[in-house]
Structure 1
């Protein structure tokens, strides 16, 4: 596996590239141009500027997250073709600097939902928290006020221009059923996948977070069955999934290791993180350590190892520890610990594999002589 680390750019991230460089085994940054309004083409000169920053520290920038999809595309409006053309040109521009994977999502209105960005845990650290009852009884506008008005950082998936039209978007989605949203996703993929194929780019959709309907909005990428359906919409090696153990892991019925084994050849990019589920439907993000949460991180990493995974992996959301002041879920310290935990599992599996091979080889030689 190739270890990468999400970085939001100079002036928009408390984490510095020189600090990421010091994390063992991290070879690339996962980046984006977060200030480009959704739906607009990403200019090549801006992409080249980001490449210069990455090159300065010896990082590749093979993975982009996120090239967000305009709501008109998700809604299936007549204006969608304009935005799809811009998306195609963005794919072409990204391919010019060697981008190999584009992570995107097809979630209506909200890319992700949490009710507390800094919920205090027993050890004094804080983490992002989801309170089911609060969401079920919450006016979405209240959530926007709580999350979007962050004075220090932009928050991916909560673009100001989108949130300003929140009431309009909710009204528009009343006319979009789950089946219609699937049809709109198919239309989008039929347009962009041939461009991605031409430039050897993998389009890797991110699961819905959390993987169930929110505020009456339809959700698609929520389960093994639905991922299977997604991959069949357009049969192409460029139509892929970003398998996120945290998003899918919020539903205890999801067998994430099983998904890794079934979809191994269509997972170019993996997000690995843990969370603790509660019986009442709440969940809180934890350290990556398997025993700290409800997601079987060891089993997931082993599934990647068993399938000879050579794609990109990043530690996903971390806690906020050691008094670090950072964007929610994206501090340096806990994600760096996550990297080392993932490498620890992987290296141990590699060692076991080596011992098994060395044991089998002499036996095979002995049998041959006999």
Structure 2
């Protein structure tokens, strides 16, 4: 697999020189300063590509060209925004970038209640506390009909938890849930977030799914013509939050998507942490079933907690059989080489990482610390070497 690294551009606390020292050869990034639905200018793409190549690296994957909320709801400027998306696909393809990762999550990106959860080793990790989320959703945000989305025992626990929270605790949870989102140039406050939720009030899960398929039917032919692989990222967490529809949360969702818009240009990002947060998902089985449609892999692990909470564990620990997943992905690469597929090598990146060692106390993008990801990449590289060396 091609070893890559998520990089947020010139303002990223992790410089490209350090990425290269970590052993990655590819960069996963976007034009974050222009990621508001406009078509990406060719000169800006060329500038970013030249910066990456000057560091001895390759811009391997675009993650992401933003899918605007108007596109997801098919309201407002959605037609113009889809045309812009097509133009951006053509532009990155002209620059030689052949993989585009994107997501179709309503309003939110990946969501956690805690970005600095203390771990036994002394560092910190990302965590989703279902009781804290319920406390915010029901008693702070006071989302209409929120009580119907949580069992009574959770609501009771959330009420007790809320009574014990300080103002600082509440501010942290709100910031993490609705204000801070990675690689986004804007934030919501409580009122603007409620207004966004209203846009989705009458949109059913099936309606949202059809909006995704309508979007794909427009952009996939452009990707085919340009030689680009589209890789949809799963919902994170892989269950509904804030009452929003989720349509890429499990194997059945992936199966439906692939069947709906059948094309070698349209496939999956296998994010083992996002899918792995769902108890229903067997990541080894999914890597095996969807192997030919996996165009990108995010490799990280999660540990389930009682009641639906989870935290991000070490890359080789947790509830995802990471060795089994890597073995399946390497087997898929061998099959591709044997059949002459030009995209035999699957780009992967060590997704997220604990804040450890010298990164403690430094400015880091949550989830994207240098040393935690370096450790994860080293562990994954070791698994890859061992599987290849000792495969039967």
Q: Normalising by structure 1, report the TM-score.
A: 0.89
Asked whether the 8 Å contact 2:316–2:322 carries over to 1, the reply is yes
- What is the distance in 2 between the residues matched to 1:244 and 1:234? 20
2:175 to 127, 139, 145: 145
Aligned length: 346
- What is the distance in 2 between the residues matched to 1:162 and 1:96? 35
Show the counterpart of 1:346.
Answer: 384
Asked whether the 8 Å contact 1:208–1:222 carries over to 2, the reply is yes
Sort the Cα spacing of 1:169 and 1:61 in 2 relative to 1 into closer, same or farther, 3 A.
same
Show the counterpart of 1:361.
Answer: none
Sort the Cα spacing of 1:337 and 1:145 in 2 relative to 1 into closer, same or farther, 3 A.
closer
- What is the distance in 2 between the residues matched to 1:109 and 1:134? 20
RMSD of equivalent CA atoms: 1.7
Query: Which blocks of at least 5 consecutive residues in structure 1 are unaligned?
Result: 357-370
Shift of 1:62: 2.2
Show the counterpart of 1:172.
Answer: 199
Show the counterpart of 2:118.
Answer: 120
Query: Which blocks of at least 5 consecutive residues in structure 2 are unaligned?
Result: 142-170, 335-344
- What is the distance in 2 between the residues matched to 1:65 and 1:146? 21
Show the counterpart of 2:351.
Answer: 316
Show the counterpart of 2:38.
Answer: 40
Shift of 1:302: 1.2
Asked whether the 8 Å contact 2:111–2:177 carries over to 1, the reply is no
Which SS does the other structure have where 1:112 is aligned?
A: coil
2:322 to 291, 297, 310: 297
- What is the distance in 2 between the residues matched to 1:210 and 1:38? 24
- What is the distance in 1 between the residues matched to 2:278 and 2:176? 25
Matches within 5 A, 1:75-86: 75-86=73-84
- What is the distance in 2 between the residues matched to 1:215 and 1:39? 24
Show the counterpart of 1:21.
Answer: 20
Shift of 1:23: 1.9
- What is the distance in 2 between the residues matched to 1:89 and 1:109? 23
2:52 to 51, 54, 62: 54
- What is the distance in 2 between the residues matched to 1:166 and 1:41? 26
Higher helix share: 2
Asked whether the 8 Å contact 1:32–1:64 carries over to 2, the reply is yes
Shift of 1:14: 0.8
- What is the distance in 2 between the residues matched to 1:235 and 1:159? 33
- What is the distance in 2 between the residues matched to 1:272 and 1:196? 25
Q: Does 1:329 align with 2:367?
A: yes
- What is the distance in 1 between the residues matched to 2:175 and 2:306? 28
Shift of 1:108: 0.3
